[in-house]
Amino acid sequence: MNEFKPKNNDGNIAFGFIILGIGIILLLRKAGVFIPGWVTTWPMILIAIGTFAIIKHEFKSFFGFVLLFLGAYFLLRNEFDFDFGLSQYIWPLGLIALGIYLIFQKQRENKVLENVRRDWESKRQANTGYSKTYVEEAKVVGENEPSSSFAQGAKSTSGFTRTTGTAFSDRLNIDAIFSGVNRKLMTKNFEGGKITAAFGGIDLDLTSADFNGVITIQVDIIFGGVKMVVPPHWDIRTEITNIAAGIEDKRYFREGGVDPNKVVVLKGTILFGGLEIKSF
Of all residues in the chain, what percent carry a pLDDT higher than 90? 18
List the chain domain ranges. Answer: 11-85, 161-280
The whole-number average pLDDT for the span 258-266 is 90
Tens of pLDDT along 139-158? 444 444 433 333 333 333 34
- pTM to 2 decimals? 0.52
DSSP strand pairing (213-222 vs 166-167): unpaired
Tens of pLDDT along 222-255? 888 999 999 988 999 988 887 777 888 888 766 6
Is the pLDDT assigned to residue 131 strictly greater than 60?
Answer: no
Tens of pLDDT along 166-211? 788 888 988 887 788 999 998 999 999 989 888 889 999 999 999 9
- pLDDT at position 152 is 38
Average pLDDT, the chain: 75
- pLDDT at position 266 is 93
